[in-house]
Amino acid sequence: MARGQTGRKPQGGSRAAFGWNNPRVRAFIYQAAVLGFVIGIVWFFASTAQENLQRLHISSGFGFLDTTAGFGIIQTLIPYSEQSTYGRAFLVGLLNTLVVAVIGIVLSVMLGFLVGVMRLSRNWLVAKIAAAYVEVMRNIPLLLHLFFWYFAVLRPLPGPAESLNPLPGVFLNNRGLILPDPVSTASATAFLAAIAFALAGGFFLLRWARKRGRETGKYFPAGRVFLSVLLVLPALVWLVMGAPFELHHATQGDFDFIGGFRLLPEFVALVLALTLYTAGFIAEIVRAGILSVGKGQLEAAAALGLKESTTLRLVVIPQALRLIIPPLTSQILNLTKNSSLAVAIAYPDLVAVFSGTVLNQTGQAIEVIALTMAVYLTLSLLTSLAMNWYNARIALKGR
Amino acid sequence: MKNPLVALFVGILIGVGGLYFFLPYDPMSLGNSRVDAGQAQVEVDRAGAGETLRRVRQRGHLICGVSQGLPGFSSPDERGRWSGIDADFCRALAGAIFGSGENVRFRPLSAKDRFTALQSGEIDILSRNTTWTMSRDTQLGFNFIGVTYYDGQSFMVRKASGIETAAGLAGGTICTETGTTTELNVADYFRDRGLSYRVLTFEKNDEAIVAYDRGRCDAYTTDASGLYAQRLKLAEPDKHMVLSELISKEPLGPAVRQGDPQWEDIARWTLNALINAEELGVTRANVEEMKQSDNPRVRRLLGQEGNYGPSVGLSSDWVVNAVKAVGNYGEMFERNIGSETPLNIERGLNALWTKGGLQYAPPVR
């Protein structure tokens, strides 16, 4: 690229080109000097910190990750007990953060699109409701959202003894929503394989149908075929091999239910708060994206006789997405990072477990905070990478 | 490919070389100093001695790390004045240093932030109902200077629940706050007995106590003293009770940074002096008269004989000033958490050794 731009091609192998007069060499030396300087500064700070920690008799290093943690965590997605290590506690916290972030992202994007489209509705009431939603939600600090939803979720719920029991095996009380625990049986593998097979087949079918449609103009109802296969195949397995899982109902203990699969009120409140708050921002991004599509495009589509739904699907959304994706990425990153407020309402996310409890038990602030920062940085960079890849795929391509 | 690599190498050389030139000291000697670390340590300690006192005097006030509001230990009253036994210890220390107990600024800290605040030098002393444990004393880079309150962890439950022992909580949910020893004690207690439990860990005790009040948990756990204090915040305190069973030893005391032995001595002996004052009958009201006492132990304590204050860099009437600021240990206790207060905690373990308690201070001599 650089060569193409300067239009001056250094003479390959020529000795004369190497020296102070070659701008490329000079640029390299400058950049390397800066790099060296930065490395040196980092090394200087690290060695100073190391010296001071040693002088103050504060232990350092990452050896503590192998030490027994000794504390309990209320929500663990992987097996964890008090005898597990700090490293394991770190993983538990990380997974708790991820599960909140992923669910929050999916829900807030869905709600955000809905509200954004609603705000453009020709129906006065619908548009105003959406506008009010956006203004109320995004103008209240997230921490207040958290407390509001947490205590709003808790207040009306009864204690475990007077649990609501809307369906057999489903209990709702202020300890959470307790569902029957699906325990897999012998046919579970075949059942999951059937779903995976249907999904994979559907993916290729859709691709093939689209390609053929583009090349020959012939229409194939791939979507409908895909859906029916996805339903029929697992159902067949179920009929032939028996149910893929059994529901183990929770039983009433002295204080609380024992067993079962449970959704904690803290989790629900956190997801609610993050979703409602972020959806307010996403709605505005979606509205801006849709409004950016020129009126002429819509008129041209109408002139071609496209239906309104087809216009939306084939003309408006593909062009709107180009504007929506970059700011949407920021909102997704914000949601992930905002989930670190969870500790305020006792949801055991990474910050609560690791830079809360573990930091306090070990006192190794530098290592713990550095590791936590590294996790959020990695998560953010990976999200950005995925979104940028998607953005590049849908970007306007000159043909 | 060859040219850029050569350039990179030259650049790094220039960069590192340039940095080397600007460094305030020779980085190569760092590695060598570790060879005789013992020697270096002695020098560092000597250099640190007296530094804290000098800094505090220069600043004109003591910076004292306290809790964010634990009635009886450290909490701001309606006029914003900090009161409580932990806050009063800092006033006594300020009295010993400056002659006035008011030369102190309080810095409220969460349980999570308190150690970092002390390590980084943001506060001079941490007087924040902190349990003295081996790992905190040895690995975190500070020293505990004594015990201001012998405590133990317990549970608060609803009277209606009929729970009378901690083991009765098996299978229940327990609320607590993060960054304390309580999480570990609960885990140890239930693990020992093979009982199941759920622990819900909040960042601040304010939210934890609200969650308990709303019925999210069956019990709220922290040090027994804290439970009495937190109970006052509940909607109906009379419907809750603190279990008499203690599941841990929690000696609460102030801590100072390691590396300044003089500062450590000042803090330790201020506490010892307050306890000795109670033992010898020296109170806020009679401290001036007691100076004329014939009892040599009182005379030494109040600086009429010997050279005890100046030996740690203070004036000889340091104890007089400390007692004038807050009274002796017993007065501090009664005023903040004892029978005169809504907390109404008995002396119990915290009575003087002469009265069947554990408070025993080495003599001033």
Please report the residues numbered 4 through 23 in chain A whose beta carbons come closer than 8 angstroms to any beta carbon of chain B: 17-18
User: Between A102 and B180, where is the model more confident?
Assistant: A102
Instruction: Tell me the domains of chain B and their CATH numbers.
Output: 51-150+252-355 (3.40.190.10), 153-248 (3.40.190.10)
> For A27-41, A122-136, A307-321, B270-284, which range has the lowest pLDDT when averaged over its residues?
A307-321
CA distance A98 to A103: 8
What is the percent of chain A where pLDDT is above 90?
41
Mean pLDDT of chain A: 87
What percentage of chain A reaches a pLDDT higher than 70?
95
- pLDDT at res. B3: 59
Residue A182: predicted pLDDT: 80
Does the pTM surpass 0.80? The reply is no
Give chain A's end-to-end CA distance (angstroms, integer).
Answer: 21
pLDDT at A150: 92
Q: Read off the pLDDT band of A224 (50, 70, 90).
A: confident
Which of the two residues, A154 and B11, has the higher pLDDT score?
A: A154
| pLDDT band, residue A242 (cuts 50/70/90) | confident
Q: pLDDT digit string (tens) for A260-300?
A: 788 899 999 999 999 999 999 999 999 999 999 988 998 99
A181-223 per-position pLDDT tens digit? 888 777 788 888 888 988 898 888 888 888 888 888 777 787 8
- Cβ-based contacts of A59 with chain B (< 8 Å): 139
| CA A255 to each of CA A31, A160, B155, B226: distance values in angstroms, whole numbers, following the listed order | 65, 7, 16, 25
A7-23 pLDDT tens trace: 455 554 455 566 778 88
B4, B10, B11, B13 alpha-carbon torsion, rounded to 10°: 150
The CA-based angle A52-A58-A63, given to 5 degrees, is: 115
Q: Which structure tokens are listed for A161?
A: 């003894």
Report yes or no: A360 at the B interface, CB cutoff 8 Å: yes
Q: What is the pLDDT of residues A61-90, one digit of tens each?
A: 888 898 888 888 888 888 998 889 999 999
B183 vs A17, A71, A343: nearest CB = A71
Closest by Cβ to A29, choosing from B10, B140, B215? B10
User: A56 vs B257: CB contact, 8 Å cut-off?
Assistant: yes
Q: How far apart are the first and last CA of chain B?
A: 78
* pLDDT of res. B43: 38
Residue A375 — very low, low, confident or very high, per pLDDT cuts 50/70/90?
very high
Contact B94, B101 (CB under 8 A): yes
Nearest Cα to Cα of residue A129 among A147, A114, A142? A114
Q: Does B239 touch chain A (CB under 8 A)?
A: no
The DSSP string of A188-231 is: HHHHHHHHHHHHHHHHHHHHHHHHHHHHH-----HHHHHHHHHH
pLDDT attached to residue B221: 93
> With 0-12 CB in 10 A as exposed, 13-18 as middle and 19+ as buried, what is A116?
buried
Half-sphere exposure of A93 (CA within 13 A, CB side): 32
Which stretches of chain B drop beneath a pLDDT of 50?
1, 24-47
B202 to chain A, any CB pair closer than 8 A? The answer is yes
Residue for token pair 């060569």: A3
Q: Does A60 touch chain B (CB under 8 A)?
A: no
pLDDT of residue A96: 95
